[in-house]
Amino acid sequence: MQTKLTQGNKSNYEIILTCETNDLAHAEKHALEHFQKETDAPWFRKWHVPLDVVKEKVNPEYLQMAIYEHLINDGLKSILNENKDLKFIGQPYDINPEQKDDKVMLSIKLDIYPEVEVKNQKREKVTVKKIDATPTQEEKENAMNQLKKNYADYKDTDKIAKDTVSKVSLQFLDKDGKELHKSSTFVGEPEFTADPFWEKTFLDKKKNEVVEIKYTEKLPQQLQFTKEWKPTIIKATPIDVKQIVLPTFDEALLTKLFGPESEVKNEKDLSKFIDKTLAEQKEEGELVKAVENYIQDVMKESMDVTIPHTMVEQEYKVRVDNLHQRFGGSKEKMQQYFDQMGEEKAKAFLADIKKSAGESLKKFFVLRHICDTLGLEINREKPEKLEIEQKLYNKFNK
């Protein structure tokens, strides 16, 4: 067998295996011996069925696949022995066989461990910008309001207002008044803030009052219809309206929330606690953003890395599996989500996940290379939360 190794796009090699007649015969014998262990035939003991009988019984496509697998394994052993300096990873892919006279040419690809390419020394002029984690007054007020909403009571009321949350039933009708679909949605502060349509359409509407909405594709996402045939009218009916009653954070409620040993005894203490928590959260967010911008600048100026197909596929699989878990591990629910999205949008959504997986891996390898270059001591096995980002930030902001 002859082997030819050609570097591809810096993340893989194209390998061509030229298999002679004797290579093919050897691989076929090896494959048939494997199938022999599972083949039953009259008059023969198991594992002793003649190979010519085994060949008659085995699916020709399975036999061909087994032959190619054996040839590839033999070829890769030879290549690995001759190129011990190359860090091959994963399994071969893009396998393409081609018959040429009495030979078979097997073309395959095999990935290598990514190496960061340093184009120049411009990285030395790039720094991690100093951050300011001081919460603004608006952020403090928003946090206090959100906390109050988390512990709010809900009181029945008859009319939709800005301080209510309502469940609205939706009936999608065609031009003849025939019902195409029924569903429901919620209308409250998030909707009022996101799109003026909600306030214009539902504010001051009463419980059980039918609101007719002319269907267009410009309506908010909650009112979009994904079937091929489109409705003409949506009949929207508020079926449950609740007024949000915000709590007063007195000592009794704070003791219930934080425990009797907590120093948070009144709203002033709570405000200090929120300020401290906000500052910690903001510092984390600003730190991640500052390092992210630094990596982007370094990659733009002087570094690059090509992530191999194998790694991108693995990271993509992990992300799709995580998405699957967000639907409670139900493939049916996740498929329903994609069906509602529509085929084209679902494809684009998954393509974005794969693209994001590749970009995330590029940043990871560049960041690790930078840490090595700067001599930062990082626990590679199990780094603490934001350890890398914090040490990199401290390097530039002593």
Of 113, 142, 165, at which residue does a domain stop?
A: 113
Please tell me whether residues 256 and 229 are part of one structural domain: no
User: What is the number of domains present in the chain?
Assistant: 3
Please tell me whether residues 270 and 173 are part of one structural domain: no
Handedness of CA 340, 343, 348, 354 (dihedral sign): positive
Please tell me whether residues 97 and 159 are part of one structural domain: no
Q: What is the pLDDT of residue 392?
A: 93
What's the CA gap between 339 and 274, in Å, rounded?
Answer: 41
What's the CA gap between 15 and 17, in Å, rounded?
Answer: 6
Q: What is the pLDDT of residue 39?
A: 79
122-175 per-position pLDDT tens digit: 989 999 999 999 999 999 999 999 999 999 999 999 999 999 999 999 999 999
310 and 91 Cβ atoms separated by less than 8 Å: yes
Please tell me whether residues 255 and 195 are part of one structural domain: no
Q: What is the DSSP string of 266-321?
A: SHHHHHHHHHHHHHHHHHHHHHHHHHHHHHHHHHHHTEE-PPPHHHHHHHHHHHHH
Supply 340's token pair: 């509602």
Comparing CA positions, the residue from 121, 71, 188 lying closest to residue 373 is 121
Q: Report the pLDDT averaged over residues 248-277.
A: 90
pLDDT of residue 287 exceeding 90, the answer is yes
Please tell me whether residues 384 and 359 are part of one structural domain: yes
315 and 361 Cβ atoms separated by less than 8 Å: yes
160 and 187 Cβ atoms separated by less than 8 Å: yes
From the CB of residue 277, how many other CB atoms can be counted at a distance below 10 Å? 12
Q: What is the pLDDT of residue 342?
A: 85
299-311 per-position pLDDT tens digit: 998 999 999 999 9
The β-bridge partners of 89 are 111
Looking at every residue in the chain, the average pLDDT score rounds to 91
Please tell me whether residues 319 and 373 are part of one structural domain: yes
Q: Is residue 132 part of a domain?
A: no
What's the CA gap between 392 and 288, in Å, rounded?
Answer: 11
24-62 per-position pLDDT tens digit: 999 999 899 888 888 777 777 776 778 888 888 889 999
* Count of residues in the chain: 398
Q: Is residue 127 part of a domain?
A: no
Phi, psi (deg, nearest 5) at residue 366: -65, -45
What's the CA gap between 159 and 79, in Å, rounded?
Answer: 76
- Please state, in angstroms and as integers, the Cα–Cα distance from residue 46 to each residue in 30, 41, 57, following that order: 17, 8, 14
In the chain, the largest separation of any two C-alpha atoms, in whole Å, equals 92
What's at 11, amino acid-wise?
Answer: S
Q: What is the pLDDT of residue 228?
A: 76
Map residue 380 onto helix, strand or coil: coil
DSSP code for 323:
H
Backbone φ/ψ region at 176: left (φ over 0), alpha (ψ -120 to 50), beta: alpha
Please tell me whether residues 255 and 390 are part of one structural domain: yes
Q: What is the pLDDT of residue 315?
A: 95
Burial, 109: exposed, middle or buried (Cβ in 10 Å; 0-12, 13-18, 19+)? buried
Q: Is residue 143 part of a domain?
A: no
What's the CA gap between 346 and 73, in Å, rounded?
Answer: 37
Please tell me whether residues 210 and 96 are part of one structural domain: no
Q: What is the pLDDT of residue 308?
A: 95
Q: What is the pLDDT of residue 142?
A: 92
Q: Is residue 147 part of a domain?
A: no
Map residue 375 onto helix, strand or coil: coil
What's the CA gap between 141 and 278, in Å, rounded?
Answer: 11
Comparing CA positions, the residue from 176, 182, 180, 174 lying closest to residue 239 is 182
Q: Is residue 184 part of a domain?
A: yes
DSSP code for 225:
-
Of 82, 98, 113, at which residue does a domain stop?
A: 113
Q: Is residue 391 part of a domain?
A: yes
| Most confident of the following: 250-264, 276-290, 321-335 | 276-290
Confidence of residue 74 (pLDDT cuts 50, 70, 90): very high
From the CB of residue 24, how many other CB atoms can be counted at a distance below 10 Å? 17
CATH at 78: 3.30.70.1050
Q: What is the pLDDT of residue 331?
A: 82
The β-bridge partners of 304 are 117
Of 224, 245, 266, at which residue does a domain stop?
A: 245
Residue whose pair of structure tokens reads 């928590």 in the numeric block: 277
Q: What is the pLDDT of residue 109?
A: 94
Q: Is residue 135 part of a domain?
A: no
Q: What is the pLDDT of residue 34?
A: 87
What's the CA gap between 41 and 53, in Å, rounded?
Answer: 8
Phi, psi (deg, nearest 5) at residue 79: -65, -40
Domain that holds residue 308: 251-396
Please tell me whether residues 19 and 41 are part of one structural domain: yes
Q: Is residue 141 part of a domain?
A: no
What's the CA gap between 278 and 135, in Å, rounded?
Answer: 6
CATH at 176: 3.10.50.30
Q: Which helix (H) or strand (E) holds 245?
A: strand 233-245
Please tell me whether residues 334 and 367 are part of one structural domain: yes
Please tell me whether residues 183 and 306 are part of one structural domain: no
What's the CA gap between 11 and 117, in Å, rounded?
Answer: 12
Confidence of residue 225 (pLDDT cuts 50, 70, 90): confident
**pTM (two decimals):** 0.69
Please tell me whether residues 234 and 277 are part of one structural domain: no
Name the CA radius of gyration of the chain, rounded. Answer: 32
The β-bridge partners of 185 are 168
